[in-house]
Homo-oligomer: A and B are copies of this chain.
Amino acid sequence: MNNFTFHNPVRVVFGRGSIAQLSQLVPRDTRLMLIFGGGSIKRNGVYNQVINALMEHDVIEFSGIEPNPLYETCMEAVRLAQEAKVGFLLAVGGGSVMDAAKFIAAAATYAGADPWDMVLKKAPVEAALPLGCVVTLPATGSETNINAVISRASTAQKIPFKSAFLYPQFSILDPDTTFSLPQRQLANGVVDTFAHVCEQYLTYDVNAPLQDRQAEAILLTLIEEAPKLGGPEDNYDVRANLMWCATQALNHNLSCGVPTDWASHGIAHELTALCGLDHARALAIALPALLHKQRQTKRAKLQQFASRVWGICDAIPDEAINKALTRTEEFFGSLGMATRLRDCNIPRNVIFQIAQRLGQRQPLLGEHQNLGTAEIADILEYAF
């Protein structure tokens, strides 16, 4: 096992009716900016629950955060937060809204000339406004981690950034909020969660069997619960279980002491930035192709994945791995995901463009940081 530090101070308030606890959780001695997306929270009743809980707070609003939140939009919110002397941010929504709030929190207190430097040049984040989250779409795990992903329209870029200053003070997760979500977004959340786990699990062995089993625990639960969505077995517990899986998948616990490989997300971010694919739909294409093409490096873990997650115990390792990856693609397919670029009408020339971009990254992607232009192109050719 590798050395590590783990520190996650987020207060998680989970369950039916928990949005009412906002009235205690949000400080009353400062102005609060409520940040949300396109208005679905006004249709599904979440907005009313939030406003009712904050009757005694000083609240202003910023709405219009888009999926794959844009730097340009976030900077409008930053200006409003600064002008209105906002002291606390409350993100109400899914990963896009939470990620936007994290960037706004950092940018509103940024001392440098250009807040985009925090994203592009990894300029250090040295402070941030405090923030809290009300999660309405379980997927990214942003509610209990330090990560955010911000896009820039003018340059067609989508880039992750992070800082320990970006832990939410609290996150409220009420599974009831998910009942108004379209099936497509629920499916996206399952695949995003599945990918997060694989990226911390399917690398090389460092003798960390508990972390392996904790990863498998989430994958097995996703595989068991996701097919119930929208069917006769769908209920509060199904939503609660998937919501808890999403949070537990990316709260930094699974990665304790083990190598990680975020190449699927790296590739998926490019597909979203260049072609507008939903994040999870990009992952459903990138992840199986990556695992297929990197099977030498990941062999031991892929065999374990085959046997423990999919119950496949073929004597011939490559056969077991093939079957496990087929089952994975079938699982994504059952959720309505295509797993090939051509099925999403992505033109072949995008492959070269993405491979060029990712081949210039420092460090390169992959748990051994060795996925250059040729390797990325190879993965995307397979995914075509």
Interface pair B257/A244, CB less than 8 Å apart:
yes
Among B3, B18, B209, contact of A224 (Cβ-Cβ < 8 Å): B209
Asked if A216 is at the interface (CB within 8 A of a chain B CB), the reply is: yes
Among B4, B8, B15, B224, contact of A15 (Cβ-Cβ < 8 Å): B4
A53 surroundings in chain B (CB, below 8 A): none
Instruction: Write 22 A-B pairs (CB below 8 A) sorted by A numbering.
Output: A1-B240, A1-B241, A2-B15, A3-B15, A3-B16, A4-B12, A5-B12, A8-B8, A8-B9, A12-B256, A14-B256, A14-B257, A207-B241, A208-B237, A208-B240, A209-B220, A209-B221, A209-B224, A209-B241, A210-B244, A244-B257, A253-B253
Asked if A124 is at the interface (CB within 8 A of a chain B CB), the reply is: no
Shortest C-beta distance, A225 to chain B (Å), equals 7
Contact flag A6-B11 (CB < 8 Å), given A207-B241, A210-B244 = yes
Q: How many of these chains are in the complex? A: 2
Asked if A109 is at the interface (CB within 8 A of a chain B CB), the reply is: no
Asked if A346 is at the interface (CB within 8 A of a chain B CB), the reply is: no
A73 surroundings in chain B (CB, below 8 A): none
Among B210, B218, B221, B240, contact of A248 (Cβ-Cβ < 8 Å): B210
A3 surroundings in chain B (CB, below 8 A): 14-18
Interface pair A11/B1, CB less than 8 Å apart:
no
Shortest C-beta distance, A347 to chain B (Å), equals 40
Shortest C-beta distance, A205 to chain B (Å), equals 10
Q: Which of A178-225 contact B (CB under 8 A)?
A: 207-211, 213-214, 216-218, 220-221, 224-225
A210 surroundings in chain B (CB, below 8 A): 217-218, 221, 241, 244-245, 248
